[in-house]
Structure 1
Amino acid sequence: MFQLIARQVRGGTLSALLASAALMIPALPAFAGQTDSYTLPQQSYNQSRARNYKVYVPSNVQSPAPMVMALHGCKQTNNDVLNDWGLKAAADEYGFILVAPFITSYDGLRNENCWGFWFDHHRHEGAGEVEDLHQIAQAVEANYTIDANRRYITGLSSGGAMATVASVAHNEYWAAAAPASGLPYGEDSASVSLSGQCPGSATFHSVSRVSSDM
């Protein structure tokens, strides 16, 4: 192969060779939008922390735009949300502003980067992680023109459970929630199995209790 390339280069066909090589490179998705990085400072209410978050704005977005907040799962970051979930392509296609918070730091016994959906101080309006998420959404609205009737939240695994928490705690704010592989509102640490099996030793609340908690 090297000899073939060398003969072609000496024969004055370098430009043709480069053009042929370019055709063999697989096309990568092109995102014409812009990603901005922000930090929500720690707030004065209980259990607030500084939170990093990123906002992806498609180039063709119309105002006012829908907003979709997407929460990463355990052992993930908001970069996984932006780069691996296909949501930037969806934002380009459907014209919504994508918000990807990062838990950044956290308290209590939990796996890496898990949202604290089972902690009582993180799942009620006015405190903790769920209020930090609400404040991030409001900060986005202060910087971008968002349609107040089309605010949505989703997430994966612990992010899915936290999306459920957010939609309950601030049900007047979010138009809809779409948790993926999450848990119902009000579940506690017993719902998370550490046995390595699925569902393993996990136990779950009754439907009537979930309904009452909500």
Structure 2
Amino acid sequence: MAKSLSSLWLTTVRRIGKAQQAQGRRLLQSLVPKPARKPAARRAKPVQPAKVAKAKPLATVRQSAVGSASAVPGLPGSWQKCWFSIPAAGQVASARRMLYWLYLPSSAGTAPRPVPLVVMLHGCQQMATDFAQSTRMNALAERKGFAVLYPQQSAAADAHRCWHWYKRSTQEGLGDVRLIAQMIAHVQGKHGLDTSRTYAAGLSAGAALANILALRYPAMVAAVGLHSAPVFGTTDSPMSAFRAMQHGSGTAHRESVQAFGTAAPAFPGMPAILIHGARDSVVRRINMTQLTEQFTILNAALITREQPAVRTYPARSTGRHPRHAYESATWYAGRKPQLVACEIGHLGHAWSGGDGRVEFSAPEGPDATLMMWTFFAQHRRLPVPGKT
């Protein structure tokens, strides 16, 4: 298997530029799990009885310990570092723990109604704080009045902090997906957030996990935003994940989403905005094409105009906000956009309109953060029968 992986990798890197060669190499390494001895050593280190004992009084099922909480520089809201865990079989010592950061806008305590929540899932080789800086989502949250939750993958679970989106158990809504869903419910209850206006977004592997979270917990997520995301439901190993990211899934993407629909006949549909770079050599554009087809199938009962409204936007090289040229296709449910697919010219594997000082972030627009929130703000999740 090592030989075939090396052959596939060498074929791929010949087609991409020098800068993205290194990026792709790290990505492939991150997809191949490390030997168990390293995660075991990392896992043993943080288990400190004193910290567990401190968390125990806060809850019997869900434990949360607030770490260093300080205001984000330049923003008046609250920036909190927390741990969330669920004891295994009632034993706190065996709890599965995950770090998260939470931004609460300064208006949260005085707003006339509960504020919405955006869940942001970082990509491989990122931490929650990197992703917050890259996307500038906290600054927008302060302006618009919503909270932002950033779960962080543990280095013990994956040396490159990748979410294991390609595993069958993850695609079924187990593992990290279930833990994050329970984390969301905990944060909503603790801070009195609006449960009908919760949105999930992510980049790359984080986008893949946000997609699974939205599809497996549709009563919780009102809309999803996927930036540079791989196709859903067609992988079961690092090797198949890499193939999908580079070549798509053939026709398997239709079969997987049809099987999903058959297994969940009461699925209420999922509003989605997809953003992808035309020059992404890590997760290639074919993935957005196939994701778009998957979401048209999932939202078929809601889409009222079969043909999308296609809009093109020219590049802008001058002024305060330069941007790449881009094109969007929008499928409507009545007057409301139900699905948006946006392809950005000249963008690689990076968050569009982000902080250029951070890796996997492109300072040229369009502003993916603002685009996602503008889309999210039009959607609210009504109660789904039989779902919690």
Please report the TM-score for the alignment, with normalisation by the length of structure 2.
0.42
Matches within 5 A, 1:1-214: 30-44=74-88, 49-61=96-108, 62=111, 63-105=113-155, 107=157, 112-125=160-173, 127-188=174-235, 189=238, 190-192=240-242, 199=246, 202-206=247-251, 207-214=253-260
Distance 1:213 1:44 in 2: 32
Distance 1:161 1:92 in 2: 27
RCO higher in structure (CA 8 A, sep ≥6): 1
Aligned amino acid, residue 30 of structure 1: G
Aligned amino acid, residue 210 of structure 1: S
The offset of 1:42, in angstroms, is 4.0
Please tell me the root mean square deviation across aligned C-alpha atoms, in Å.
Answer: 2.3
Structure 2 alignment gaps of length 5 or more: 1-72, 90-94, 261-388
Q: Give 4+ residue runs of structure 1 displaced > 4 Å after superposition.
A: none
Distance 1:168 1:203 in 2: 20
The offset of 1:44, in angstroms, is 3.2
* Contact 1:69 1:153 (8 Å CA) reproduced: yes
Report sequence identity in percent: 23
* Contact 1:150 1:175 (8 Å CA) reproduced: yes
Aligned amino acid, residue 120 of structure 1: R
Which structure has the larger Rg over C-alpha atoms? 1
Q: 1:43 to 1:178 in 2, by over 3 A?
A: farther
SS at match of 2:194: strand
Distance 2:217 2:207 in 1: 15
Aligned amino acid, residue 84 of structure 1: S
Deviations 1:157-197 (A, max 9, x none): 00001000101111121111111111232131323259xxx
Distance 2:233 2:156 in 1: 19
Aligned amino acid, residue 39 of structure 1: W
* Contact 2:233 2:257 (8 Å CA) reproduced: no
* Contact 1:122 1:128 (8 Å CA) reproduced: yes
Distance 1:38 1:213 in 2: 37
The offset of 1:142, in angstroms, is 2.1
Structure 1 alignment gaps of length 5 or more: 1-28
Distance 2:195 2:250 in 1: 33
Q: 1:205 to 1:174 in 2, by over 3 A?
A: farther
Distance 2:234 2:103 in 1: 31
* Contact 1:187 1:205 (8 Å CA) reproduced: no
* Corresponding position of 1:18: none
Distance 1:39 1:205 in 2: 40
Q: 1:163 to 1:124 in 2, by over 3 A?
A: same
Distance 1:140 1:77 in 2: 20
Please report the TM-score for the alignment, with normalisation by the length of structure 1.
0.74
The offset of 1:121, in angstroms, is 1.7
* Contact 1:53 1:100 (8 Å CA) reproduced: yes
Deviations 1:3-62 (A, max 9, x none): xxxxxxxxxxxxxxxxxxxxxxxxxx71111111111114438xx831100110111232
Deviations 1:43-98 (A, max 9, x none): 438xx831100110111232401000000000001011222211011101111000
* Contact 2:83 2:98 (8 Å CA) reproduced: yes
* Contact 1:42 1:51 (8 Å CA) reproduced: no
* Contact 2:88 2:96 (8 Å CA) reproduced: no
